Amino acid sequence: MDTVTQATIIGIDVSRDWLDIHCLPAGKCARFPNKVKGHEQVAQLACELGALVCFEATGGQEWQLWVALDDAGIATRQLPPAQIKAFAASRGTRAKTDRIDAELIARFMAFRPDAGRALPHRKLRLLAQIKAQGKLGSAEMFAAMDEDLKGLLDRQIAELEAQIEDIIATDECLATTADILRSVPGIGPVASTMLLAEMPELGQINGEQAAALTGLAPIAHDSGAMRGKRAIGGGRRLLRRVMFQAALVASHHNPVLKIFANRLRAAGKPHKVVITAVARKLVTIVNALCK
């Protein structure tokens, strides 16, 4: 029996205004508004069918729907867009519409029932939201900086940092994990908060999986006798950028990783390769400590 007929799955293509859905195995299609009313309609349908609901990560357009479904007790899964794209290519699917995308998402979930991630803890979602606010505010405000604006920005950053610290301090589990992360030379407040917010799987996966989630695992490009150059890619980009910054610090101030980085430099490795390797080691270390 085909995998897609063994469970009821609702795949959703999420856009700013609409939710295009495809139900498996029935093949039913529908379109609901990406608003509270539409979220209620999706929740009602999922409850009636006893379905797992899945959708791509869209940069935030899916979060309100995700929270509404989770509050309704519906199983949900957020899927990486790169995997959906690769799945479409493997099926020879070239046409692209919202309805086709919804079906692809549903069929990928049926093919890979272990893929994606569930909704993070509420406090982790709040951390991610605060980090995003800080990032957006900085981008807008730096356009025409003057002293008054700089003072305002500094105050806003301080307020955001205080909110983050309060959230972490009032949750025993988060506080303990933050202390573990910050005990590693190279992992400061920014990197530890980003790891908490963007990688709730820490300590529950192995080192290779942790490196892959941050996009720091080398990807092979081999064919027959040819051995292509390894490269990194995918994963959670915001987290990877922060880990690069942490790796720069760790390569000079972490006693263990400094030796590791110097050995790579002595072997003639380029700077980017060295920092990537140190970042990967950092993620592996913190994941092992959190276990």
Residue 75 has pLDDT above 70, yes or no: yes
The predicted structure's pLDDT at residue 1: 32
The predicted structure's pLDDT at residue 13: 95
Amino acid at the residue 42? V
The predicted structure's pLDDT at residue 34: 93
The closest alpha carbon to 16, from 98, 80, 84, 74, belongs to: 98
Take residue 102 and report the two structure tokens written for it: 């919804």
Mean pLDDT over 231-240 rounds to: 71
Contact status, residue 5 vs residue 14, Cβ threshold 8 Å: no
In this predicted model, what pLDDT tens digit does every residue of 202-221 receive, in sequence order?
888 888 888 888 888 765 44
Q: How far apart are CA 37 and CA 42, in angstroms?
A: 9
Residue 99 has pLDDT above 50, yes or no: yes
Residue 180 has pLDDT above 70, yes or no: yes
- CATH number (3.30.930.10, 3.20.20.70, 2.40.40.20, 3.30.420.40) of 3-111 reads 3.30.420.40
The predicted structure's pLDDT at residue 147: 65
Residue predicted with more confidence, 41 or 148? 41
Q: Are strands 52-56 and 76-79 parallel, antiparallel or unpaired?
A: parallel
The predicted structure's pLDDT at residue 163: 86
The predicted structure's pLDDT at residue 122: 64
The predicted structure's pLDDT at residue 94: 77
